[in-house]
Amino acid sequence: MVERIAIVSDIHSNLEALTAVMRDIDRNRVSKIFCLGDLIGYGPNPNECIDLAKRNFDFVIKGNHDQAVGWKIPKVFKETAAKAAYWTRKRVKPKLTKNAATQQKRWGFIRKMPKTQEHGTWYMAHGTPWSNLDYVYEEFEAAQVFDADRSNFRVCFLGHTHIPGLFLQDGDVVHYTDVEDGIRYKIGAEKAIVNVGSVGQPRDGDPRACWVLGRSDGSFSFRRVEYEIEKTAEKIYRTDLCPSLGERLFDGE
């Protein structure tokens, strides 16, 4: 029997996008939900997204923003991202309050995220298998992932770019394919890298939340889901987070 698994990534504390995606996932009868990282950072609802992930996801890989909140904000972060990571840390890190036990569990969840995961012939990471800061946008970057492969994966699923896409390895050549939602892609003898796109902050010009329905027969499809962007943006405008983090959601940029 073909196993159906939801793969989500880059939720970025966007509760409205995550809730809409969870409704779509429910309709698609999956047995597991894998998350490729950046659960938090940028958006206004980190604690709510952590609780939802703890209840529903099989694992969450440590994204660069999860790491920035839970550990140290890297120097390569731009000011908007660094300030958002600091804002998020203030809300997630435990304090001596009535909710200390709950916060401790949320903080532990962020700090114990794995760097990579495998499932059958699938390999999963945030940016690349060796770094959650490196991107795979271009064919030469995908070729480096194929060349470095030590796990004999058939499909490598990645987050981080916020742009859905597909790379196929055909002998020594790597081809990039722009992808569309609703089309079923099937992997043959070649290997593939799938950029799964972003739930909470898409950057491909389509503001709808994005997730991937993967199947154990080697096929997968991209799903796009509308959500209440106005509500998320309004919440951002009412905080100290940079207003551009709300504005960009409308354009999917």
Residue 214 Cβ vs Fe ion, minimum distance, rounded to whole Å: 20
What's the chain look like in SS3? CCCEEEEECCCCCCHHHHHHHHHHHHHCCCCEEEECCCCCCCCCCHHHHHHHHHHHCCEECCCHHHHHHHCCCCCCCCHHHHHHHHHHHHHHCCCCCCCHHHHHHHHHHHHCCCCEEEECCEEEECCCCCCCCCCCCCHHHHHHHHHHCCCCCCEEEECCCCCCEEEEEECCEEEEECCCECCEEECCCCEEEEECCCCCCCCCCCCCEEEEEEECCCEEEEEEECCCHHHHHHHHHCCCCCCHHHHHHHHCC
Residue number of the CB closest to Fe ion reads 38
CA distance 213 to 219: 9
Pick the closer one to Fe ion by CB: 10 or 16. 10
Q: Shortest distance, CB of residue 239 to Fe ion, whole angstroms?
A: 19
Nearer to Fe ion, 132 or 169 (CB): 132
Compute the least distance from the CB of residue 197 to Fe ion, in Å.
Answer: 11
> Measured from the CB of residue 18, what is the shortest distance to Fe ion in angstroms?
14
Q: Is 145 or 174 the residue whose CB approaches Fe ion more closely?
A: 145
Taking the least distance from each CB to Fe ion, the nearer of 37 and 214 is 37
Compare residues 135 and 218 and give the one whose CB is closer to Fe ion.
Answer: 135
Instruction: Considering the complex, state which of residue 16 and residue 38 has its C-beta at the smaller distance from Fe ion.
Output: 38
CB of 211 to Fe ion, least distance (A): 14
Residues 153, 149: Cα–Cα separation, whole Å? 7
Which positions lie near Fe ion, rule CB under 5 A?
A: 10, 38
Residues shown for the chain: 253
Shorter beta-carbon distance to Fe ion: residue 10 or 204:
10
Angle at 77 between CA 61 and CA 57, to 5 degrees: 20
Q: What is the closest distance, in whole angstroms, from the C-beta atom of residue 70 to Fe ion in the complex?
A: 15
Rounded to the nearest whole angstrom, what is the least distance from the CB of residue 135 to Fe ion in the complex? 10
